[in-house]
Structures are given as C-alpha cells and as structure tokens.
With several copies, the nearest count.
Chain A
C-alpha cells in the first residue's frame, strides 16, 4: 500500500496498462509533452514513446475517429477529452461509431476504446469546464459508463476499463484529482471487484443514498452528520452508471424503504431519473416514500461564483434525506399538489 493522489493513481494505472499490453495507446490534446493539463499522463510519453502516448491535433472527432480506426487494427486506444465540455464535437463518433460498431459489424469488430473524461464542477472553472455529460452516454446503447470516486478504485477501474472489450466512458471527478488515498499498486486485478459492481461505502438502516464520483465523499460526510441526528444512512457508490448494479441498490432499499439519489448533472433525464424509475419498478412495495433526487439545477453550468448554489452539497443532500425521512425539510410546508 502506498498513499498517492487520485490523479497519480490513474497515472499509475495507465502506466501499468501501457507496460502490460503494447496495443494500448494513449491519445489526446497535450497529454504527451505536457502530461495533460491535469498531469494525469505525466511522464508516460517519455517512458513509452510518442507512438504509445500521442499528442494529437486539436480535434475531438479526429481523436475518437482515429481511435476507431486503431481499434479496427487491434489497438486498445485510451483517449483523453481534456474537459467534459469538449466531448460534444466527438459525439457523433462516440454514439454512431464507437457505441454501435460491434452491433453493426455483427460482433466481428470490437471497440475496446476508453474515453477518459475529467468531469463535474467545484473547481471554479470557466464555462464548459464543469459539465456532467454522463446521461448522454448512459442513454446510448453499446457503451459502458463508469465513474470512480477514490484513488484505489481509480487505479483498478482504469485498468479494468482498458481490459474491457466494450467501449467505456471513464468519468474522472476532476475536483478529486488532488485528494490522496491508499492504493495497492501490486494489486492483482483478477481479485479486484468488477467495475460493474457498486460499493456500499457506509452502512445504514434508515435511508439508501446512491451517488457517484465527487459526491461520494459528500454523501459519506452527510451520513456522518446525519448519524449525529440519529438518522442512519447507507451510502452506495454506484461506480458503474451503465449498466447499474441494481442488485446492490435493491437489497439496500428493501431494508431501508427509502431512496435518495444525488448527482451534479441536471435533474431532467439525469441518471437519478433512471435509478428512481427502476427502483420504483423493482421494489415498489418496499418503498415508504417516493425516491428523492438531489441534483444540479436544469441550467447551463453557472459562473464560478454561483456554482455553490448549483452543486448538491452536504446541506442539500441532508435536506433530501429529510424529505425521504419525512422530517422537516425545505418542502415540508407545500403539499405536492401546489408544488
């Protein structure tokens, strides 16, 4: 076990993947000489050469589109999208090509492509630098979508994503890059928890709180705070957003009868909608109350000085928990009728 930052953990995971399989290539803007604007690929070009860690021209469709061609040749491209807000120019290549080629080719062409995306807000950045685009991808058949929340998971999950024969959208909560944690760099991947399985990071009996990425830490803090008020929260780190590990969530909700889902992305059509709808379908009779969603507003990401009024934080999550628990909360005094 060594203690390293979240960013370093991904860097080590990439290093190991590059070392173990020479078909693995990294591509992206500024990832080589500079080591990426977040330094996630720091040192890798020097170590593996410019044909393994490739600085590309400034074109996201070009990066993903050439990655498709490389996959056609048997490579396992790991592309970096510099910031979440810059993934859209490559949307067509991701949705119409990467996601669909295995199906369209009747299983003959595999797309073991990983699209790394630093996502989410909380760093006071300029516009287009704090987006949470995950729902666009979870709604896209053919893709797998994962989000890691801590260094240990990041180190293992990036390698699992690269090893996957299906394309993976790999979401990295950028505001956690500098957080440190214990990582076992010699961990045997075979023993690791599959990336499709969620993790219960705090056990509780009163309410099930599901989230992913940067909000996992906030959710854990909320559980601690709620405990003091006598509310026992079970926190589930989703890890895989598509497919979702419903077995883990269902087992928890059957016990608690209450579900809160939190994410930074907007509410309308967000991942929370799918989980709320699916859990309602799967264990309606166990639910004491309607699943509660605590999300970013349905607005373009606001300027830095307003992001604190957009992002779900400890208090907003606790307010959501209070709604689920029927305790006094921001909506106590309105019946759903006039809401």
Chain B
C-alpha cells in the first residue's frame, strides 16, 4: 500500500507536519502511512542501522582529525546527518544511481567506496576518487545544485529505456535557491522522471540560516512543481528509510518524482575551514544534541531488550576497523605524477594539448638535468 500523492501532498499544507517514527527519546510512534515501508526492519536490521551510523560518525571524526593533522586539505563533516544519509542510502537498490553533493560520505560508504577513494580528492591528490559506474554513484558535486539536473537526466534515460532503476539527488537547503535545482524539478515533473530529490535541510548554508532561503518548509516547494513533497525528521533513521523507500517505489512504478526534505542539523563546521562560532550559538547546538540520531536508535534497541553491551561492542569494533582502514587508505593514496596534470582533459587525441604536454615535458626535463636553477 502506498499513500496517494494527494495524501502526501496534503501533509504539506500543515507545515509543522514532520514524518517521525522514532522520537528523540527513542519512543516508536505508529504511522499507518509509513510503517508498512519498514515492516521488514527487525531487531537485526535496527542493529545494522545503528552500526552504520556509529561507523560513519567515526569515519567522519577520523577524517576531520586527519585534516587537522595536515593529511587532508579540507573536509566537510557530516556529523549530525548520519540518519538522513544512512536511512536514505539504505533505501536504494544496487542499480539505482546517486548524484550527491560533497557531504554525502555516509552514502558513498554504503555504495562501497573505499577509504582511499573517499579521501584522495580531499587530500588534493586526485580530481575524484572512484569509478561512478562501479559504485553507481556520480563523483561529488561542488557546484551547488548542478547535480540535481544530472540526476533528472539520468532518470529520464532510465524511463525511456524502460528500466525500473531510479536516481536520487542529494542537495542541501541552500541549494534550493539555485536555478538548477528548480529547473530540475520542472524537468523531472514534465518527463515523469524516476528521481527522488533528497534535500538535507541541515539548517545552514555555511553561515546563512535556512530562513534566508525560504520562510517555510522546503518540502512545500514540491507541490508547485507537480510532485509530492514530504518533510521527515532527518535524525530519525527509520522515518528516513521509510519515506525514501516510498518515494523510490513510486518512482519505479512510473508515478514520477518526489521531493523529500530531511530536517536535520550540521553539528560541525561547514568544512574544516569554517568557524561556526561566528554565526551560531551553543544553545542551537545543545538543542540539537538532544535529538541525536544515534542515541535515539540506541534507546529503541535497548528498549527491545537486546544485549546492549554486545551491540555497542560490535558497533565499536566495526568503527575501529573502519577507522583503521581509513588511515591505511590514506597511505595508499599515491601522489600524482607531474605530467598526469594533462591526463583525461579529452577522451580523444587533441593536437593543441599534445603540443602543450610535449613542451611542458621538455621544460620539466631541464630540471632533471640541471637540478635547481
């Protein structure tokens, strides 16, 4: 059973409506509309989701530390957004395709991206880390909103080829102000593209509060573009999983795109180069710490009578393994060859670039002979 668009859209006329299955204290709330979408999530599945979140939080912390140690040039932390990213990524099928921004490390992790593939771009060693076709995830996008159009184009093709694959586009609250994201909504609706717009409203676009981009829930944008929009508690991994499954399912069935606003919070700085103290208070942070996505799932699992020592030990072990892999991965990243600066500009021979490359090789050769000038 799936809620009709009318119902889903209906939610939006009551802005404060937020799909929440798991509250901040771990209380499970029945929801006839979305419970069916996680009927298969048993205790083991809950433990898996918990482990996923513990692992990616640890990976994120490790990467942040590596940046502080000078091993990475920059790192955009996902801390606080674990449920939004894990819940949505767990809803994907293998043949779906992800078009993300720069902060979806948890999504990449679940798509099988290796630590060295994840870090190389932030280390400044490579233009990008992984083969998009192997992971079914495009390389991260830094131009705000641009990937949303790519996700729609991919989905248009999926529909024309009559597959049941869908694409998902991750972007932030700030991105909703860019023309590209709005045009993506227009194209997606016009072509009934099987695409899910997954907006992580983490409250901030660097120093700008979401209120500067929009005076009301971003999910309300969807209706005007002819698709259902849903606001979900982005720190509730169950709700995110359910809502994303619902959206992907209807997309696969040819019912077109949907827009999900996952309301969450960026607990850390925008990037390691940012100082949030300049634009937000600790109270903000404190309030959101109360709504931690991991704590609440931990409480639910505990309430189910599971052996929490085992659960925690298992999660910690997985996190330790991942952290070790990450550090090992870092050392596995090769420094690029100077002449590789010319690689892959074109897929076919290019007379101008070849001449430039050849001349630069001669230039570098001088030093091998002379050494320092």
Contact = CB atoms under 8 A, between A and B. Distances in A.
Same assembly = yes
Interface string B122-149: 1111111001110000110011101011
Interface of B: 73-74, 97, 99, 102, 121-128, 131-133, 138-139, 142-144, 146, 148-158, 160-161, 167, 174-175, 177-180, 183-184, 186-187, 190, 205-208, 212-213, 273-274, 278-279, 335-336, 338-348, 350-353, 355-357, 359-360, 362-367, 373
A166 B273 CA distance: 35
Contacts of B131: 108
A284 interface: no
A65 B206 contact: no
Given A105-B128, A303-B127, 7 more contacts: A65-B152, A97-B150, A125-B73, A305-B335, A318-B373, A330-B362, A331-B359
7 closest A-B pairs by CB: A69-B153, A65-B149, A304-B124, A66-B153, A243-B352, A34-B207, A62-B183
Contacts of A105: 127-128, 132, 139, 344
B359 A124 contact: no
A303 B206 contact: no
A330 B353 CA distance: 17
B152 A69 contact: yes
A97 B346 CA distance: 13
Contact of A316 (B161, B351, B363): B363
Interface in A290-304: 297-300, 302-304
A9 B156 CA distance: 29
Contacts of A242: 352
B25 to A, nearest CB: 33
Contact of A33 (B132, B161, B278): B278
B174 to A, nearest CB: 4
A70 B323 CA distance: 36
A102 B356 contact: no
B225 to A, nearest CB: 11
Nearest to A163: B348
Contact of B359 (A72, A108, A299, A330): A330
B353 A298 contact: yes
A108 B356 contact: no
Main secondary structure of the interface of B (DSSP, over half): helix
A126 B74 contact: yes
Contact of A267 (B156, B356, B366): B356
Contacts of A61: 149, 179-180, 183
A146 to B, nearest CB: 13
A107 B127 CA distance: 10
Contacts of B150: 65-66, 68-69, 72, 97
A59 B160 contact: no
A88 to B, nearest CB: 8
Given A33-B278, A106-B126, A106-B128, A166 B183 contact: no
Given A62-B186, A70-B157, A128-B143, A306 B356 contact: no
A124 B124 contact: yes
Contacts of A108: 131-133
Contacts of A237: none
Interface in A128-159: 128-129, 141-142, 144
B187 A56 contact: yes
A72 B138 contact: yes
Contact of A306 (B149, B179, B336): B336
16 contacts: A34-B206, A57-B208, A57-B212, A59-B177, A62-B149, A66-B150, A69-B157, A72-B97, A92-B143, A103-B345, A106-B127, A106-B343, A124-B73, A303-B126, A303-B336, A305-B335
Contacts of A201: none
A306 B341 contact: yes
Nearest to B153: A69
A65 B146 contact: yes
Contacts of B367: 315
B210 to A, nearest CB: 10
Nearest to A143: B346
Contacts of A65: 146, 148-150, 152-153, 180, 183-184
A37 B373 contact: no
A268 interface: yes
A66 B356 contact: no
Nearest to B126: A303
B154 A72 contact: yes
Interface of A: 25, 29-30, 33-35, 37, 51, 55-59, 61-62, 65-75, 85-86, 89, 92-93, 96-97, 102-110, 124-129, 141-142, 144, 164-166, 196, 242-246, 267-268, 297-300, 302-306, 309-310, 315-316, 318-319, 330-331, 333-334, 339
A72 B153 contact: yes
Contact of A303 (B121, B180, B364, B366): B121
B344 A102 contact: yes
Given A68-B153, A69-B156, A30 B355 contact: no
A35 B208 CA distance: 11
B141 to A, nearest CB: 9
B146 A58 contact: no
Contacts of B154: 69-70, 72-73
Given A33-B207, A75-B157, A127-B127, A109 B186 contact: no
Which of B174, B212, B365 is packed against the most chain A CB atoms within 10 Å? Answer: B212
Contacts of A164: 348
A129 to B, nearest CB: 8
Given A58-B208, A72-B154, A108-B132, A127 B142 contact: yes
A250 to B, nearest CB: 12
A129 B124 CA distance: 12
A70 B153 contact: yes
Given A33-B278, A106-B126, A126 B149 contact: no
Contacts of A310: 341
A59 B359 contact: no
B49 to A, nearest CB: 29
A259 B46 CA distance: 70
A103 B127 contact: yes
A30 B208 contact: yes
A30 B207 contact: yes
Contacts of B373: 315, 318
Contacts of A58: 144, 174-175, 177-178, 205, 208, 213
Contacts of A331: 359, 362
